[in-house]
């Protein structure tokens, strides 16, 4: 036992005293004492073997303590972030409501100022949704559909904000086009997410989105008179070429992987 205690002391030498260090050292001493008793009870009477066996089970006491301290730090950091989020949110809402009331009372422009308030609320909700998406994406693919719904919601909230600014603040004609653009952005965001998250059927979503996306672009460009309605509609059938191109690229990529696979296997067999 003396040697084991020396091993603990040597391993932990130079670490400044603290409450957590004292707790950790006490726990290690207790654990190792119990283990030594267990092993001796099991039938080993060679002290060297007992010592070596226990040391092999506790090869890095110092490193373990370091990891424990890091973990505690991480936990504290997490707690601080959580508190910052809660208090930050409360302060954010207080500030925007006070700002809204102040601006409205000063300018008397109640017909327009509510848009600022609503846009800040939507921005907050969008940020919250994106934060949830980031969290869910780190988990199993089972949660990916939920993430995709949240992305769509976030995009729609931002679209609505843009629409309100265009319609209420700037009184832009054809501001309704923001919604068409919103749907286009939603499909693009979903396609990118499916690809980045290596969704199994990502290719089908790409194919499914291309033609409706072309129709949206046609409506936007046609409405803004960038292209004529006729023969601008040709954009829609032309999008089928992009569909075929996507399929072709995917097949090429798949075959490339396949040939790499065979190589790997044969190497493995040789070894």
Instruction: Name the residues that contact other proteins, by CB under 8 A.
Output: 38-39, 41-44, 46, 48-49, 52-53, 56, 257, 261, 264-265, 268, 271
Q: Min. distance of Cβ 56 from other proteins in angstroms? A: 5
Residue-level length of the chain: 271
Q: How far is CA 152 from CA 11, 52, 133, 162, 213, in A?
A: 54, 59, 11, 15, 15
The residue (of 15 and 47) whose beta carbon lies closer to other proteins is 47
Q: What are phi and psi of 177, to 5 degrees?
A: -60, -20
The residue (of 49 and 146) whose beta carbon lies closer to other proteins is 49
The residue (of 56 and 225) whose beta carbon lies closer to other proteins is 56
The residue (of 13 and 48) whose beta carbon lies closer to other proteins is 48
Q: How far is CA 84 from CA 78, 87, 89, 91, in A?
A: 10, 5, 8, 10
Q: Min. distance of Cβ 141 from other proteins in angstroms? A: 11
Q: Do 161 and 123 contact (CB within 8 A), yes or no?
A: yes
67 is written with which tokens?
């990891």
Q: Do 100 and 119 contact (CB within 8 A), yes or no?
A: no
Of all helices (H) and strands (E), which one includes residue 141? Answer: none
The residue (of 17 and 263) whose beta carbon lies closer to other proteins is 263
Q: Do 151 and 128 contact (CB within 8 A), yes or no?
A: no
Q: Min. distance of Cβ 52 from other proteins in angstroms? A: 4
The residue (of 106 and 262) whose beta carbon lies closer to other proteins is 262
Q: Quote the DSSP letter at residue 225.
A: T
Q: Min. distance of Cβ 44 from other proteins in angstroms? A: 5
Q: Min. distance of Cβ 64 from other proteins in angstroms? A: 17
Q: Min. distance of Cβ 68 from other proteins in angstroms? A: 19
Q: Min. distance of Cβ 55 from other proteins in angstroms? A: 9
List, in sequence order, the alpha helices (H) in the chain.
Answer: 2-11, 19-42, 47-57, 61-107, 110-137, 144-164, 177-196, 202-223, 229-232, 235-270
The residue (of 13 and 198) whose beta carbon lies closer to other proteins is 198
């Amino acid at each position: 036992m003396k040697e084991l205690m020396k091993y603990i002391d040597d391993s932990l030498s130079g670490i400044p005293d603290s409450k957590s260090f004292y707790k950790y050292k006490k726990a290690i001493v207790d654990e190792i004492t119990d283990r030594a008793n267990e092993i001796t009870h099991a039938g080993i009477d060679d002290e060297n073997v007992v010592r070596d066996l226990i040391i092999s089970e506790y090869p890095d006491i110092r490193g373990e303590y370091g990891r424990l301290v890091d973990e505690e730090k991480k936990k504290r950091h997490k707690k601080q972030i959580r508190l910052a989020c809660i208090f930050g949110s409360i302060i954010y809402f207080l500030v925007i409501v006070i700002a809204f009331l102040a601006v409205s009372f000063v300018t008397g422009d109640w017909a327009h100022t509510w848009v600022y308030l609503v846009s800040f609320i939507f921005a907050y909700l969008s940020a919250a949704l994106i934060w949830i998406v980031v969290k869910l994406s780190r988990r199993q693919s089972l949660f990916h559909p939920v993430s995709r719904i949240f992305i769509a919601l976030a995009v729609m909230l931002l679209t609505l904000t843009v629409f309100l600014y265009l319609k209420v603040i700037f009184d832009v004609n054809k501001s309704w086009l923001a919604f068409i653009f919103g749907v286009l952005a939603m499909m693009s965001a979903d396609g990118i997410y499916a690809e980045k998250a290596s969704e199994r059927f990502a290719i089908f979503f790409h194919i499914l989105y291309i033609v409706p996306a072309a129709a949206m672009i046609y409506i936007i460009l046609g409405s803004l008179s960038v292209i004529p309605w006729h023969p601008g509609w040709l954009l829609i059938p032309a999008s089928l070429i992009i569909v075929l191109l996507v399929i072709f690229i995917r097949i090429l990529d798949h075959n490339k992987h396949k040939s790499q696979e065979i190589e790997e296997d044969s190497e493995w067999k040789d070894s």
